């Protein structure tokens, strides 16, 4: 499956692969994928559906190349985007082109970054699940206690174990496509550990097969996500998507979270 890999911050030596993985693969794919697409507009439409269309202060975690952050800003919002990898350099180029609201790109680890003020919306598109359950809880707690305004909403894409499990053992061979901006012949191997509900996604270039680049994504069913949220200050309000698609087709689903009333 040709997927844009997840993105995110890191914490601790066991997760030092994150910056290198997304920087290296970002160099492979930037020419093809650092362009605004319909997916970015769909994401902003979801933001408006669940948070409203009025100008808002938005924190986007792991924005990658910054295409969704740019569309969000052009819709009139004030966007702060925190990205640890070199994809942030591409995202910064979009900031200069924003004509609606504003876009500030911060190249830093979002587990460690200190931000001024709070936000009406915290979004994390395509990347949640990097690290351990404890890492996710620490991030979710930061969202609830440091970043999210009272009454605000968090929109988080969560890796779906049902579909990732169905891809266990799949290997893809992807040829270059210069017209679309894909310059390298690549291989991808996907595996899934049902005990830890973790997907491992490994990529390598055909000309350097000894140099493999791997991302590891913890997957959560909606029930698992609800358990993960316990004690973080956030509560799950909605899962976006068709239940049948969730079982069979969607490698991730959008979770809508709000600060728990008893926090």
Reported as a single tens digit per residue, the pLDDT across 217-247 is 999 999 999 999 999 999 999 999 887 888 8
- How many Cα atoms are found within 13 Å in the side-chain-facing hemisphere of 128? 31
The structural domain count of the chain equals 1
C-alpha–C-alpha distance, residues 142 and 146, integer Å: 5
Is 204 a domain residue? no
Chain centroid offset of residue 168 CA: 21
pLDDT one-digit tens code per residue, 156-203 = 999 999 999 999 999 999 999 999 999 999 999 999 999 999 999 999
Residue 159: exposed, middle, or buried by beta-carbon count in 10 A (0-12, 13-18, 19+)? Answer: buried
pLDDT at 5: 41
pLDDT of residue 263: 58
262 vs 111: CA distance, rounded Å? 25
Query: Band of the pLDDT at 15, cuts 50, 70, 90?
Result: low
Please check whether residue 153 lies inside any domain of the structure.
Answer: yes
Whole-model pTM over 0.85:
yes
Q: Is pLDDT above 90 for 136?
A: yes
Residue 189 lies in a domain: no
Instruction: Tell me, yes or no, whether 155 lies in a domain.
Output: yes
210 domain-assigned? no
How many Cα atoms are found within 13 Å in the side-chain-facing hemisphere of 17?
A: 15
pLDDT of residue 41: 98
16 belongs to a structural domain: no
Contact 6, 37 (CB under 8 A): no
Q: Which domain holds residue 79?
A: 33-159+221-259
Is 98 inside a domain boundary?
yes
Distance from C-alpha of 4 to C-alpha of 134, rounded to nearest angstrom: 25
Residue 76 is assigned to a structural domain of this protein = yes
Q: Is 232 exposed, middle or buried (0-12, 13-18, 19+ CB in 10 A)?
A: buried
* % of the chain exceeding 70 in pLDDT: 94
CATH number of residue 231's parent domain: 3.40.50.150
């Amino acid at each position: 499956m040709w997927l844009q890999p997840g993105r995110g911050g890191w914490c601790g030596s066991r997760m030092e692969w994150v910056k290198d993985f997304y920087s290296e693969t970002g160099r492979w794919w930037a020419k093809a994928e650092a362009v605004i697409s319909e997916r970015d507009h769909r994401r902003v439409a979801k933001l408006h559906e669940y948070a409203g269309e009025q100008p808002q202060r938005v924190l986007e975690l792991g924005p990658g190349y910054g295409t969704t952050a740019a569309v969000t800003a052009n819709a009139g919002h004030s966007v702060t985007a925190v990205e640890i990898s070199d994809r942030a350099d591409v995202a910064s180029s979009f900031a200069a082109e924003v004509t609606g609201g504003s876009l500030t790109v911060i190249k830093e680890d979002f587990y460690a970054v200190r931000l001024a003020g709070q936000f009406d919306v915290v979004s994390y598109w395509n990347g949640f699940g990097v690290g351990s359950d404890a890492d996710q809880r620490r991030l979710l707690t930061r969202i609830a206690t440091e970043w999210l305004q009272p009454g605000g909403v968090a929109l988080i894409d969560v890796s779906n174990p049902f579909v990732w499990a169905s891809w266990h053992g799949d290997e893809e061979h992807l040829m270059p496509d210069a017209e679309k901006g894909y310059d390298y012949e690549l291989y991808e191997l996907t595996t899934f550990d049902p005990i830890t509900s973790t997907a491992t996604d490994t990529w390598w270039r055909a000309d350097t097969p000894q140099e493999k680049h791997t991302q590891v994504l913890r997957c959560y069913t909606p029930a698992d996500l609800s358990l993960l949220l316990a004690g973080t200050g956030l509560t799950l309000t909605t899962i976006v998507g068709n239940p049948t698609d969730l079982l069979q087709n969607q490698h991730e689903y959008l979770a809508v979270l709000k600060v728990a009333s008893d926090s």
